[in-house]
């Protein structure tokens, strides 16, 4: 496997909590950082840290974990084809497999998922240690569109498709749909394409259920200009400069090389 060609990491100017600093430097998640501090494994300027909420400027202090210096990791941007049945967390108290199993064997700093896909959903998931880039994608004001292919348990008619297009009011939340179209159908079920520009909890499933159908499979196939394409399940690709340009809208740009896969 060839090494990554990574852009240099930008500086981190803001004063943040110690746990946040370790996360922003790409060393670990904030939850993991808090655990490291509790265990007495983190030093700030040669002194053992006592509190994960200690405010520091990462550019002005020396950080060590288990005696090893911590410095800013190069920025990494990946797209992953998340398999069905794995969870989008760093660890799971129930012992279920997480998306990090797909990164086993790859020489990577700590990466965080950009948004989530629930356990039953599959498809395109972005991962990065660039928190600013991730936040811009997740910010509703960015209007980044997410495209899903959804298998439902019925053959839709025009009225049903109109309900999908209209969105739904569910538990006081207005769930919107940018576009909905029929892809194909059999005798008892069908695949539809739905596009949204929000990220509300179970948004697609709730809209489909409100329209009168059940989701059998849910696959995210696009985020803005990025398309899942033929990336195998469990495999990852590095994103190139053009892929990371915002706004993520318009024609898809081919992603980088395949780095590996896990089944």
Query: Which residues carry out catalysis?
Result: 118
Beta strands 173-175 and 168-170, pairing class: antiparallel
CA 260 to chain centre: 18
CB 86 within 8 A of CB 120: no
- Answer for the pair 238, 254: CB distance below 8 angstroms, yes or no: no
At residue 184, φ and ψ (nearest 5 deg) are -165, 165
> SS3 of 21, please?
helix
> Residue 257 and residue 44: Cα distance in Å, rounded?
38
Alpha-carbon Rg for the chain in angstroms: 21
Reading the block at residue 207, the tokens are 């809209």
Asked whether the beta carbons of 77 and 129 are under 8 A apart, the reply is no
Report yes or no: 215 and 204 within 8 Å, Cβ to Cβ: yes
Q: In what order do the strands lie in the sheet with 68-70?
A: 47-48, 42-44, 63-65, 68-70
Q: Tell me which residue of 93, 114, 92, 90 sits closest to 103, measured CA to CA.
A: 90
d(CA 59, CA 15): 9
Phi/psi-derived region of residue 227, left when phi > 0, alpha when psi is between -120 and 50, beta in every other case: beta
């Amino acid at each position: 496997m060839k090494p990554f060609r990574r852009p240099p990491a930008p500086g981190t100017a803001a004063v943040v909590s110690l746990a946040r600093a370790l996360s922003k430097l790409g060393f670990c998640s904030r939850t993991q950082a808090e655990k490291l501090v509790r265990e007495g494994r983190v030093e700030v300027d040669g002194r053992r840290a006592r509190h994960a909420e200690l405010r520091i400027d990462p550019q002005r202090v020396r950080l060590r974990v288990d005696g090893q210096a911590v410095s800013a990791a190069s920025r990494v941007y990946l797209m992953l084809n998340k398999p069905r049945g794995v969870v989008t967390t760093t660890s799971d108290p129930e012992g279920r497999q997480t998306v990090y199993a797909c990164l086993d064997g790859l020489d990577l700093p700590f990466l965080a998922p950009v948004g989530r896909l629930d356990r039953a959903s599959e498809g395109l998931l972005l991962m990065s240690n660039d928190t600013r880039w991730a936040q811009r994608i997740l910010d509703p004001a960015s209007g980044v569109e997410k495209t899903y292919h959804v298998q439902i348990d019925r053959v839709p008619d025009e009225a049903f498709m109109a309900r999908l297009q209209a969105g739904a009011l569910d538990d006081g939340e207005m769930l919107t749909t940018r576009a909905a179209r029929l892809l194909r159908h059999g005798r008892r079920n069908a695949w539809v394409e739905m596009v949204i520009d929000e990220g509300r909890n179970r948004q697609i499933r709730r809209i489909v259920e409100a329209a009168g159908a059940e989701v059998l499979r849910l696959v995210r196939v696009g985020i803005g200009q990025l398309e899942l394409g033929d990336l195998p399940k469990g495999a990852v690709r590095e994103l190139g400069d053009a892929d990371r340009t915002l706004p993520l809208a318009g024609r898809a740009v081919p992603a980088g090389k395949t780095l590996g896969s896990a089944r």
